[in-house]
A = this chain, B = another copy of it.
């Protein structure tokens, strides 16, 4: 059985959502961030050399990175459900939206690093980050105006990858989704999915360690 090592308020809620969509059994191990620093505890860092959430264990296999874990689980345990095969016409869309969040997260971390200092450097780089972010999110909103889900009419892992950014980056000082009507409507559709609602109640950003 797969164990999801869940760090509170982190990208690992994606994996809980995936397992609920697939109806697969899993164990959830809960780890709390250090209340003072917000960092993962030493037990979490010991799981994998890269030590970033999410981490899963499957027997002797230890995996990190959301995109790695969702592909692994769907192909090894669900006959490729929620993925798109290379011979399907929407395969390029699937691949693209699977990778979309890397760029958004990269900009988000760059913005965090830049900080609040007022200087010519901060103004120049901050403007560059904001313009690139607007371009990415504009593209996302356009896509969701023409398609129910990111890779086509059905939910895929690409949606599981992107939704976290849209719902959770704002909690860390990141961008929200103001002015993106198609993205807002998409999130409403996502929130109505029973598997999503159940996953968020178990491991979403406002969930707490089970007593």
* A136 neighbours in B (Cβ, 8 Å): 50
Tell me, yes or no, whether A81 is within 8 Å of chain B by CB: no
Alpha-carbon distance A154/B125, docked complex (angstroms): 40
Q: A135 to B92, Cβ gap below 8 A? A: no
* Bound form: Cα–Cα A69–B106 in Å: 19
Per-residue 0/1 for A59-102: is the Cβ within 8 Å of any B Cβ (1 yes, 0 no)? 00101110110011001100010000010000110011011001
A115 CB to nearest chain B CB (Å): 5
Give complex CA distance A142, B110 in Å: 28
Q: Give the residues in chain B near A95, CB-CB below 8 Å.
A: 63, 65, 67-68, 71-72
Q: Which of A98, A102, A105, A136 has the most CB of B within 10 A?
A: A102
Copies in the complex: 2
Is there contact, CB below 8 Å, between B72 and A92? yes
Main secondary structure, interface of A, reads helix
Nearest Cβ distance between residue A24 and chain B, in whole angstroms?
16
Once bound together, how far apart are the Cα atoms of A50 and B67, in whole Å? 20
B68 x A135 contact (CB < 8 A): no
A109 at the interface (CB under 8 A from B): yes
In the complex, chain B residues whose CB is within 8 Å of the CB of A51: 135
B50 touches A68 (CB 8 A): no
Cross-interface CB contact of A103 among B52, B91, B115, cutoff 8 Å: B52
Q: Is A111 part of the contact surface with B, judged by Cβ < 8 Å?
A: yes
Expressed in whole angstroms, the minimum distance between the Cβ of A85 and any Cβ of chain B is 9
Q: Which residues on the B side are within 8 Å of A113 (C-beta)?
A: 110-111, 113-114, 125, 129
B63 in contact with A96 (CB, 8 Å): yes
6 contacts between A and B (CB under 8 A): A50-B135, A63-B95, A68-B98, A75-B86, A106-B110, A110-B112
